[in-house]
Amino acid sequence: RIRNAKEKKDVVEFTAPHEVHQFEQVKYYDEPEWACSMDSVAGHVGCIKCWNPRDEGEDALIVEVKAMYKREELNIKDETVNKPRKHCIFPGRGYFWTCFNSNLVIEPDSDWLGELKDKPIYNSTGMEALPDQDGICYPGHMAADLPDNGATFV
C-alpha cells in the first residue's frame, strides 16, 4: 500500500518529505494503533519509523510535536502561547520518523492533501471545525478519494 523508495546502486531515491526539523518531544496518540519499527537514516541516525496501518479510507492517527523553533520566544516554554503541533498521518500515505541521536522528526509528504491541512482542524463533514468545537483529522473516507500525487516514501 505504501509506495516505497527505489534503490539504485547504493542510492535510495524518494520524493521529498513535508518537513524535517528538530523536536523537544513527540507524543503519539492512540499508541496501540500505530505500527513502528527501529530504523536508521543513511545507516547512521537511530530512529523509529511509524506509520498508520489502518486500511485506506479509515481515519488518520495523530502525532503531536513540541519544537523550540516554533516558539514565539525561544527561551520561554509556555504551551498556552506556543501550542504543540498535531499532525494527521493517514493510512498508506507515508511514515513519521522520530530520530533520537539528532532530535529530528521527518514528516511525510502532505502535498497530496492539496489545500487541506494535515492538522486535526476539521469536523466529520470535512469542513473546518468551529472555534468552540474539537477538531478531527480530515475524514478518512473523504481523504481516500483525493488523488495520489505519486510520492514515494522512505
List pLDDT tens digits, range 3-20. Answer: 555 555 565 565 655 565
- 137 touches 126 (CB < 8 A): no
- 18 touches 107 (CB < 8 A): yes
Q: Cell triple for residue 50?
A: 511509524
Nearest Cα residue to 123 out of 146, 142, 139: 139
Q: pLDDT at position 32, please?
A: 96
Share of the chain above pLDDT 90, in %: 45
CA-angle at 81, arms to 69 and 77, nearest 5°: 55
pTM of the model: 0.81
pLDDT surpasses 60 at 109: yes
Overall average pLDDT of the 63-86 stretch: 76
Q: pLDDT at position 142, please?
A: 97
In angstroms, rounded to a whole number, what is the distance separating the alpha carbons of residues 88 and 59? 9
pLDDT surpasses 80 at 98: yes
pLDDT surpasses 70 at 2: no
User: Using one digit for the tens of pLDDT, what is the confidence trace for 25-44?
Assistant: 889 999 999 999 998 877 77
In angstroms, rounded to a whole number, what is the distance separating the alpha carbons of residues 26 and 54? 21
Pairing mode of beta strands 104-107, 95-99: antiparallel
Q: pLDDT at position 12, please?
A: 58
